[in-house]
Amino acid sequence: MRLFIAIKLNRKMKDHLISMQEDLYAQGFRGNMTKPENMHLTLVFIGDFDDPDQVIEIIDGIRFEPFSLKIEGTGAFGDLWWAGLEKNEALSALVKKLRHSLAEAGIPFDRKKFKPHITLIRRAKQVSKPSPRRGAAGKKTPEMTVDHISLMRSDRGKGGMVYTELT
């Protein structure tokens, strides 16, 4: 089972991210746009692990005060375009707690430096010149309160990846 721990996004956040995707499209970018139902913030990628109950136990043991997330800017890792998040100490502390607890339990996870982002488009290429558009750029960036984290399962489906919440 491919597992990851994530924050599921609310409708307002997803609507704003869709508008950001539309802006990228208007700028001539094409690729695999993330479907709204797959938009999330990965906190820890675990990968192949066959004991989700052990991970759920760890998630249930993590306590944190609700905190706010706010989108800030865009960026790219090669051909993957993403929306960034405003610097957030509570988010960083949560990820640190999760990683520490997973390591103590001997659960393997991706140890790359945490760079909070939400994937907008994979295999992006700019294939045409930009056209004028004011989508997300003209809108106030929404905030959302985080009071829950989820263990997610990732499966390849006919139309791309399918993410299923396990907690």
Catalytic residue among 16, 100, 117, 148: 117
- Using an 8 Å Cβ cutoff, are 55 and 107 in contact? yes
- Using an 8 Å Cβ cutoff, are 4 and 42 in contact? yes
Residue 100 annotated to the active site? no
Instruction: Show the tokens assigned to 94.
Output: 């949560």
Name the percent of the chain in helix, strand, coil, to the closest 5: 30, 40, 30
What is the rounded distance in angstroms from the CA atom of residue 58 to the CA atom of residue 118?
A: 24
Residue 16 annotated to the active site? no
What is the rounded distance in angstroms from the CA atom of residue 7 to the CA atom of residue 62?
A: 14
Active site residues: 40, 117
